[in-house]
Amino acid sequence: MAMTWVAVAAFVLVGILTEFVRRLAVRLALTDRPGMRKSHERPTPYLGGVVIAVGVIVPTVAALSGAEAHLRILLVAATAVALLGLVDDLRPLSPYPRLAVEGVAAAAVVGAGGHVKIFGNWLDYVLPALWIVVITNSFNLLDNMDGAAAGVACVTGASLALPATMVGQRGVSVLLVALACGCAGFLPHNWTPARIFMGDAGSLFIGFVISASALFVFARSDDTGVAGPLMVTFVATVDTCVVLVSRHRAGRPLMLGGTDHVSHRLRRLGLSTGQVALALSGAAAVTCLAVLPVLWDWVPAPVPLAVATGLGGVFVWLLLKVPVYAKHDERLRTT
């Protein structure tokens, strides 16, 4: 019953409040303006992520007032990351304070039990914290086209909630359902042509919740501790790999913003903006659900992990062949 209530509350809260925040952002001139390094064509307000964070956290806290300590820590850390993103939306920060806050939030999650059991030493704690930071920023990078990040987050949250329930992480499951439904409530406003963007407050919050939740869900054994988190973040990971490799090969700054993501390459191959969002969401659904046979002990974890890694490598190789850089780029933007 709590799960249903949280799902409905998150969907309705985000769906209704997004329009109010959109009008407020327009009134305050908090808009993302078109540019050479951006794919949208008109000024668009970008505070939608604040609504997503509120619409997810408030129902979850209300439904789980007596939640376990690790879930309370996760919610506090996610809130801190969302606030960090809001500050960055209002006044862009340098990478160092961003990474510092994300690192502290990730360390709190790891200290609360979100770590792996592979090496038997300090690496079991350090690597998960670094991974949370990487995936948090990977979802930030993924938010580059109408409906892309929200669609992937909606599918991932819903898909990850099932294994969370299976391993007894009920509180995390409720949080993931709230995330999925909150993003579903945001999608009508963010679907092409988007009337509002989520901004860093939303993309960082989503990436943090998904990566931290995945560690709590899959940290029960050596095999799933590696396979599970990597597979449920497959789309964001591939996108980050494509961007970093292509920018390195082109001799461009790694933190340079641009239309060189997976979504932009799929557009160049002929897909519409809506089709790109659906394709990325579909890929996320497949890789997330592929974890279930591992949890049911139908197949050993290395099998789907090896398949996903191989396919990921092939996708990166193929997507790198799609031309995205002009010969002369004069207008550059730091993300």
Q: How does pLDDT run along the chain (335 residues), one tens digit per residue? A: 678 899 999 999 999 999 999 999 999 888 876 655 555 557 789 899 999 999 999 999 998 876 788 999 999 999 999 999 999 999 989 989 999 999 999 999 999 988 887 778 888 899 999 999 999 999 999 998 999 999 999 999 999 999 999 888 999 999 999 999 999 999 999 998 999 999 999 999 999 999 999 999 987 656 677 788 889 999 999 999 999 999 998 888 887 778 889 999 999 999 999 999 999 999 999 999 888 888 887 888 788 888 888 999 999 999 999 998 875 444 433 34
Domain coverage including residue 81: 2-319
Residue 328, domain member (yes or no): no
Residue 334, domain member (yes or no): no
Residue 140 known to bind ligand: yes
CA distances from 178 to 150, 181, 277 (A): 13, 5, 21
Residue 332, domain member (yes or no): no
Residue 326, domain member (yes or no): no
CA distances from 231 to 161, 243, 265 (A): 14, 19, 22
Residue 130, domain member (yes or no): yes
Angle at 218 between CA 212 and CA 219, to 5 degrees: 85
Residue 190 known to bind ligand: no
What predicted TM-score, i.e. pTM, was given to this entire model? 0.92
Please say whether the beta carbons of 33 and 206 come within 8 A. no
* Count: domains in the chain: 1
Residue 153, domain member (yes or no): yes
Residue 333, domain member (yes or no): no
Residue 335, domain member (yes or no): no
Residues 6+ apart with CB under 8 A from 181: 6, 7, 8, 10, 11, 14, 154
Tokens matching residue 311: 């396919």
> CA 142, CA 185: separation in Å to the nearest integer?
19
Please say whether the beta carbons of 151 and 187 come within 8 A. yes
